[in-house]
Amino acid sequence: MEARPTSAPSGSHPDWPTRRIVILGSTGSIGTQTLDVVRRLAGRVEVVGIAAHRNADMLLAQAEEFDVPHVCLAEPEAAHGLASASPARMVYVGQDGMNQLAELPEADTVVVAVAGAIGIAPTHAAIRSGKRIALASKEVLVAAGESTMQMARSHGVDIVPIDSEHSALFQCIHGNPSAHIESLILTASGGPFRDFDLEQMRAVGPDDALRHPTWNMGGLVTINSATLMNKGLEVIEARWLFDVPSDRIEVIIHPQSIVHSLVRFRDGSVLAQMGLPDMRLPIQYALLYPDRIDTALPRLELSACAPLTFAEPDTQRFPALRLARDAIAAGGTMPAVMNGANEVAVARFLERDLPFLGIMKTVEAVMSRHSPVEPSLPNVMAADSWAREQARRS
C-alpha cells in the first residue's frame, strides 16, 4: 500500500489557489489517473466538468465521487437517461457538448485526454476562452499542431503536455529561450520487439505485441509502442510544442523508461528528466505547473533501476520513424493521414486481418496516395476520414 495524503498536501504555498478543471476523456486511462491525482491533491483541485465517449455508468460514478456539476457524453444514444439518472447535474451531449464544457467560465484548466481527432475542436474552444491546456491527446498536435500553437500564443495560454516524454522536455526547457536549444532527445522503450530480426517480426501476433514490459496502456498505444509509431507521433508533437525543426529531434532507445527525455543545449550541456514510469507525475505537473508539491507518489531509487542503457533505433525494422519525418516534411494534412491510417491498420492487426509488418506497409501506401492540403480543421477531419477509409481497403 502506498502512503496517501490525509490532509492538504505538504509543501504547497498557503495562498495557493484551487484549480478548477474540466477533464475531456475522464473514463479513459489518462482520465482515471487524472482523477487519482485529484484525490491525492486533497481538495486543491476541483473538478467542474467531465466528458466521456459512451461509458455513462462510470461517468456518473465519477460525477458522484467528485461532485461534478457538468457532465457530457459524446455519443448521443449513451446520453439517453443520463439526465434522469442525474437530475442535479447539467448534462451535455456530443461534440457541441464537449466544446461547451471546454469553455465553462468556472474552469481554468482543461485536461484533453480523448482518443482521436475529436479532441481538436474542444481544445481550440478552451484556448480561445483562455484556459490552460493539460494535453494528453496526440491528435491535437499531430494533426493540428501549427494552428493550435499559434492560437495558444496569441491567447497567452500555456499548453502543458501530459505525455511523459514531452513533460520531460517541457521541464528541462523551463526558463530557457528556444535559441539555447540544440536538439531534443526523445527516449523510446523500443517495445517488446526491439531485439527481433525481420524474420521474427514477420511472425508476431497480437498476443505477443500486447505483452508490453513497462507501461500499462490500451491496445492502440501498446501496438504503437511496438511499431515505434508512438515515437513517430511524439516527434511530430515535439516539433510543434517546442517549435524545433524535426531534424533537431532525435530518438534514442532506452528500455528502462527511467529517463523520460533530454534536451541538448547550445553549449553541449544535456539535461534529462527522470522518474518512475508513472503517468500521475506528468499529470500532476501539468495541473499544478509551475508548482511542485508532495502527494506521496512513489520515489525513484536510482540504485534499484541501474544500469540505464541507450541505443540508436533501427529504421529498417521500424519504418515508423522515417514515415513520421516524411509526414512532417510533406506538411499540411499528411500527419493527420499518417495517424488515421495507422489507427485503422493497428485495429486490423488486432483483428488478425494484417500481419505486424503490414501495419507500416499500409500506412506508407495510404500516405503515398495523399496530396496534402492546408491543415484547417475541416480539411484535417476530412483527411482523417479519408485515410481511415483507405486503410480499411489497402
Which residues contact Mg ion by CB under 5 A?
Answer: 163, 165
CB atoms within 10 A of CB 23: 32
How far from chain centre, in Å, is Cα 391? 23
- At its nearest, how many Å lie between Mg ion and the CB of residue 25? 16
For the record, the C-alpha cell of 255 comes out as 528500455
User: Residues 199, 203, 205, 211: is their CA dihedral positive or negative?
Assistant: negative
- At its nearest, how many Å lie between Mg ion and the CB of residue 138? 9
The SS3 call for residue 116 is coil
- At its nearest, how many Å lie between Mg ion and the CB of residue 343? 16
Rounded to whole angstroms, the Cα distance separating 386 from 382 reads 6
Looking at the DSSP assignment, which residues form a beta bridge with residue 45? 19
Rounded to whole angstroms, the Cα distance separating 210 from 192 reads 9
Using the minimum distance from each CB to Mg ion, give the nearer residue, 78 or 217: 217
For the record, the C-alpha cell of 91 comes out as 448534462
Using the minimum distance from each CB to Mg ion, give the nearer residue, 103 or 163: 163
Looking at the DSSP assignment, which residues form a beta bridge with residue 251? 186
- At its nearest, how many Å lie between Mg ion and the CB of residue 220? 13
Using the minimum distance from each CB to Mg ion, give the nearer residue, 231 or 348: 231
CB-based contact 323:40 (threshold 8 Å): no
Using the minimum distance from each CB to Mg ion, give the nearer residue, 168 or 360: 168
Angle, alpha carbons 12-290-168 (nearest 5°): 120
- At its nearest, how many Å lie between Mg ion and the CB of residue 318? 16
For the record, the C-alpha cell of 380 comes out as 484535417
Element (H, E) at 341: helix 334-350
Q: What residue is closest to Mg ion based on CB?
A: 163
Using the minimum distance from each CB to Mg ion, give the nearer residue, 123 or 225: 225
* Residue 393: half-sphere exposure toward Cβ, Cα within 13 Å: 7
- At its nearest, how many Å lie between Mg ion and the CB of residue 39? 23
CB-based contact 164:282 (threshold 8 Å): yes
Using the minimum distance from each CB to Mg ion, give the nearer residue, 5 or 219: 219
Using the minimum distance from each CB to Mg ion, give the nearer residue, 68 or 328: 328
Using the minimum distance from each CB to Mg ion, give the nearer residue, 188 or 347: 188
How far from chain centre, in Å, is Cα 101? 20
Rounded to whole angstroms, the Cα distance separating 120 from 322 reads 25
Rounded to whole angstroms, the Cα distance separating 320 from 233 reads 9
CB-based contact 289:351 (threshold 8 Å): no
Using the minimum distance from each CB to Mg ion, give the nearer residue, 166 or 348: 166
- At its nearest, how many Å lie between Mg ion and the CB of residue 70? 29
- At its nearest, how many Å lie between Mg ion and the CB of residue 234? 6
Using the minimum distance from each CB to Mg ion, give the nearer residue, 163 or 364: 163
Q: Which among 244, 246, 243 is positioned nearest to 328, based on CA atoms?
A: 246
Phi, psi of 264 (to 5 degrees): -100, 125
- At its nearest, how many Å lie between Mg ion and the CB of residue 221? 8
- At its nearest, how many Å lie between Mg ion and the CB of residue 162? 9
